Amino acid sequence: MGQRFIVDDQGKVSRIADNAPETKQRKNNRHRLIFDVAMDYLSYRDHTEQEMVEYLGKKNYTAKEIAVCMAELKNYGYVDDQAYIARVCEENQLYKHFGKSRLRWELKRRGVSEQSLHTLEDYISEDDEIRNARAAFETAKDKYRTDTYVKRRQKIAAWMQRRGFSFETIRPLLAQVNREEDQNFDEQNETDSAALEQDYAKYYRMQSRKGYHGWELKARIKRNLMSRGHCSTAVQAMMEQHTSDGDFDDEQKD
């Protein structure tokens, strides 16, 4: 067994016998080490309490050591699920414009408890939801501007539903899609395209609820669509489009 050493506050190095009892100073040094590891993890982005516990667990720290570290992190406000929810909602209002149900799913995936998620309503009002929907609608309307009238409406609705908006919120906005604006009005293959988009939305929800995300979610949806008999070229084009839309972005980072 290799020798172990400890450095005191004056920089003096001492050897520790294998059977030496754990001193208070050694405990403090180890707690400081674990705290530093946690702070390094937080330097990439904010994390939920559950994410932090799981990360420290992968480092093989004991449950007691993790509990001590978590108490200190919470005391300093470095890990706080309520503050985390507030920041996510604020960033969503400014940049992403997801719907409330998508935010709830994302937060739950990151380990936020159902009890904490009850406060989501405090950060996203009905007016906020409508503003986010309008911002998302403008993006979708421009994204699908070259599609036919029917296809355009279908794609906008499906895209917004995947972003977490209810059809009740989407429906009034679809009335703003005008047939006269279409640059390429062609009803050919409308039925096949609509069925493919509908199946994509169905399998996206199904596989997401099973916990898949990122490349694995993409692979499973593609396999599902091919098994339904959809044209491989159409499936590939759709998967590329949804990839560029950010449907398979994975922000989870260890």
Query: What confidence tens digit (pLDDT) does each residue in 102-122 have?
Result: 999 999 999 999 999 999 989
Q: Which residue has the tokens 């296809």?
A: 151
Cα(98)–Cα(103) distance, integer angstroms: 7
What is the structure's pLDDT at 1? 45
Contacts of 208 (CB under 8 A, 6+ apart): 105, 217
The more confident residue out of 2 and 71 is 71
d(CA 84, CA 88): 6
Could you give the count of Cα atoms lying within 13 Å of 249 in the half-sphere of its Cβ? 9
Residues 6+ apart with CB under 8 A from 20: none
Can you give the pTM of this predicted structure? 0.58
* CATH numbers and ranges of domains, the chain: 26-79 (1.10.10), 97-188 (no CATH), 191-245 (no CATH)
The answer, yes or no, to whether residue 2 has pLDDT greater than 90, is no
pLDDT in tens, 55-98: 999 999 999 999 999 999 999 999 999 999 999 999 999 999 99
